[in-house]
Structure 1
Amino acid sequence: MNVRKLLFEIHKILGLVTGAVVFVVAITGCFWAFKEEIEGLSDDYQKVVPQQQAMITPSQAKEIAQGVFPQNSIHGTIYKKAGDALEVVFYDKTPEFYQSVFLNPYSGEIIRVENRLEGFFAFILKGHLRLWLPREIGEQVVAASVLLFLLIIVSGVWLWIPKKSNGLKQRLKFDWKATTRWKRKNFDLHTVVGIYVWIFAFTLAFTGSLISYNWLKYVVYKSTGGEKEAKFIIPENVGKPTDSTTVAYDRLIDQLQRESPEAKAYEIHYPASKDESVYVEVSNSEGLFYDTDFRFFDQHTLKELETTGIYGKYEQAKFPDKILRMNYDIHIGAIGGLPGKIIAFLSSLVIASLPVTGALLWFGRKFKRKGSKTYPTIVEA
């Protein structure tokens, strides 16, 4: 068996094994690309009338929201502009719990409680990440299938290259006539469409694999010259507890608003222990995550601390750090704004068609009728 035939067998077998998974992940990815825009059409409840008075403090917001879910953990509180509600986010991994409590930032009144694990996009995300299976099973199946999809893409590009140069033109366009049969059309849909979308498919699959596998993230980071730890690290406090009855981090939001007045949001995360520092995410762009500033403060003295991980202030990030920080924004197309999301949407839609046309190619050759015309495979052409 020569190399081309071997690649064809690998391409075919892996395609049949992972096809259903790739189809689901790609289709759900289409919807997720425009999540922010679609949800923005019905978020009027997150708006309030601005008032000439101070907003409630993070500790007050925590106390009010904790009364709604006293047994669950608060992930953080998000402060935005004067006309935006506060969002207190609850999250527990086991058992899975993810809800938001929206508060009037001036009175502390509870505006709305929203279950983030229910609704259309929660359904889409569960399918995208784990095929609606239990987390410990579904996430492994999706991660392995997407990693194998990278091999399918590479082998497909290799197989697409025709043996003879005069066959190149045929591989780049549809040349259908009234007499062209469905098998030929299906073959062209798989090969012609596939070659035009392969670079986007590889990008989406590779960035998805980086999200799934820490070892791959480590390899990419170190191979590009990364010097820090390729993960999120919260430094410990350096100061000693005081006898003050006030909570030091209540002063942080005012401080951050003065230092970064153009920021879109400030998310304060409450320390999980007496040794852990307070960290705040300062969002500098609407709909983007890579340029967020992650800042850490001693919970007793508010002295700013440095982290040994890659998630710190964006202006201090080096090239290898930025690669990993941009990964999610690249994955959903947000890195390119609305045009980028459109490309991600269309690419995902086309990617979803490839397992279908590939399966039809296999089915058409394996179960062809006697006397029917046989079309060349990618290997033969």
Structure 2
Amino acid sequence: MGKKRNKANTTFRKIIRNTHLVLGLGSGLIIFIMAVTGCLWAFQEEIEAFTSPLPEIQMQNAAVIPPVEARRLAHEVFPGRMVHGTLYGAANDPVKVIFYELEPEFYHTVYLHPYTGKVLHIDNNLTGFFPFVLEGHRYLWLPKPIGEQLVQWSTVIFAVMLLTGIVLWWPKNRKNRRQRYTLDWKETTKWKRKNYDLHSVIGFYISFIAVIIVFTGLVMAFESFKAGTYYSLGGQKETLWRVPENNATTNQIALNGNGMDLLFNKLRSEYPQAVDLEFHYPATEEEAIYVEIGYEEGIYYNADYRFYDQNTLEEITSPTIYGVYAETGFPEKVMRMNYDIHVGAIGGLPGKVLAFFASLICASLPVTGFLLWYGRTYKKKPVQLKPTRKKRVAVPVD
């Protein structure tokens, strides 16, 4: 009985090892790219704030240009282009008018002086170092339909590799367990042994954090996985993002196209504690005005998403998980935290540092894994010395 059990265990571990090996060799390069770009993205906001500071503006006792005027001024720079929204930060920050169109992709930001409306700066958000990094992380710098699929399924594969890696790491007996927990290196330890320990021991420790990163990545990669996770937590709302339609069918208060400006003045007085207010212009006559209210720099989960009838400015309740944060339940809060957990922002600067090193170590796993496979597959054959023939010594005959 014991022999059969040992044989079954050996067969099981062999299957796990082969699965781990094949998946690793097939997706190693993709996982490496995803991990390295994720590592670089962790401090994107801090680095960009340091390398590309906003123009300094002196605070004035004057009115800030409202959203309708901001859009008009920005359209002088990009006439005919779709304005996604206008972002208002601190009183001495520029007003950011954001242009975005999906096909063909057009993504620019026009920075306006908050009091005079003068154009201070223009950014192409599709060029530069961090847009390049994000493109690699999401699409591997390939056409979106191809790269997106490769990234999605490589994330699934990496999840399987983490699980199979833990199974392979688990020692067969208690005597070997201590060795699996530590890097017990000596001066005589060879590099192959060190490489094995880096892959197995370090990989084991980082797997607990990597599982969280991978899980949150799957939530963003697959809408079905996101919905399944949300509903398994007891959620009942829609998970797909959408802006609701207006409740009213007639213009009851004769806004004359200035409803956005009236809403702007109203919300600025109601939310003085807000770090920023972003106003999104309705794409159609039926669509509501969408406003995002942020309360912390670099944190997105606790922002308020509010929607207003563009004819009456009455607030509309969203049927999705995106609404007023204080009014959401546990399932909605968990799903809205997903991105901040993925990049480590949920834990502030220490969380980003943790995400940075976790991604860096994850990037090393395909490298150390490949070296393990290569070293075992292409071992140096021992040099065989040719047998030397003994010379016959002539013995003198007396």
Structure 1 unaligned residues grouped into runs of 5+: 373-381
Hey, what does 1:35 align to over in structure 2? Answer: 44
Hey, what does 2:389 align to over in structure 1? Answer: none
Hey, what does 1:258 align to over in structure 2? Answer: 269
Matches within 5 A, 1:76-115: 76-115=85-124
Hey, what does 1:339 align to over in structure 2? Answer: 350
What is the aligned-residue RMSD (CA, Å)?
1.3
Matched, 1:288 2:299: yes
Hey, what does 2:214 align to over in structure 1? Answer: 205
Matched, 1:194 2:200: no
Deviation readout 1:138-177 (Å, 9 max, x if unpaired): 1111111011100000110111101011101111111122
Instruction: Say which of 303, 308, 311 aligns to 1:300.
Output: 311
Hey, what does 2:129 align to over in structure 1? Answer: 120
Shift of residue 241, structure 1, vs aligned partner: 2.6
Instruction: Say which of 174, 177, 185 aligns to 2:186.
Output: 177
Shift >4 Å, 4+ stretches: none
Shift of residue 261, structure 1, vs aligned partner: 1.0
Normalization by structure 2: what TM-score? 0.91
The answer to whether the 8 Å contact 2:255/2:311 transfers is no
Secondary structure in 2 matching 1:266: strand
Instruction: Say which of 310, 329, 332 aligns to 1:318.
Output: 329
- C-alpha distance in 2, partners of 1:47/1:315? 34
Shift of residue 41, structure 1, vs aligned partner: 1.0
Comparing 290-299 with 44-53, greater Cα deviation is found at: 44-53
Hey, what does 1:327 align to over in structure 2? Answer: 338
- C-alpha distance in 2, partners of 1:179/1:10? 32
Shift of residue 229, structure 1, vs aligned partner: 0.7
Matches within 5 A, 1:138-157: 138-157=147-166
Shift of residue 57, structure 1, vs aligned partner: 1.2
The answer to whether the 8 Å contact 1:264/1:286 transfers is yes
> Are the structure 2 counterparts of residues 180 and 306 from structure 1 closer, same or farther at C-alpha, using a change threshold of 3 Å?
same
Shift of residue 276, structure 1, vs aligned partner: 0.2
- C-alpha distance in 2, partners of 1:53/1:347? 48
Hey, what does 1:235 align to over in structure 2? Answer: 244
Secondary structure in 2 matching 1:88: strand
Normalization by structure 1: what TM-score? 0.95
Structure 2 unaligned residues grouped into runs of 5+: 1-9, 384-398
The answer to which structure, 1 or 2, has the higher relative contact order (CA under 8 A, 6+ apart) is 1
Deviation readout 1:160-204 (Å, 9 max, x if unpaired): 101011101111111122222221111111001101100111111
Identity %: 46
Instruction: Say which of 7, 20, 24 aligns to 1:15.
Output: 24
Shift of residue 371, structure 1, vs aligned partner: 4.1
Secondary structure in 2 matching 1:2: helix
The answer to whether the 8 Å contact 1:231/1:311 transfers is no
Matches within 5 A, 1:269-284: 269-284=280-295
Comparing 182-191 with 325-334, greater Cα deviation is found at: 182-191
Comparing 247-256 with 259-268, greater Cα deviation is found at: 247-256
Shift of residue 92, structure 1, vs aligned partner: 1.2
Hey, what does 2:374 align to over in structure 1? Answer: 363
Instruction: Say which of 259, 280, 302 aligns to 1:248.
Output: 259
Shift of residue 286, structure 1, vs aligned partner: 1.1
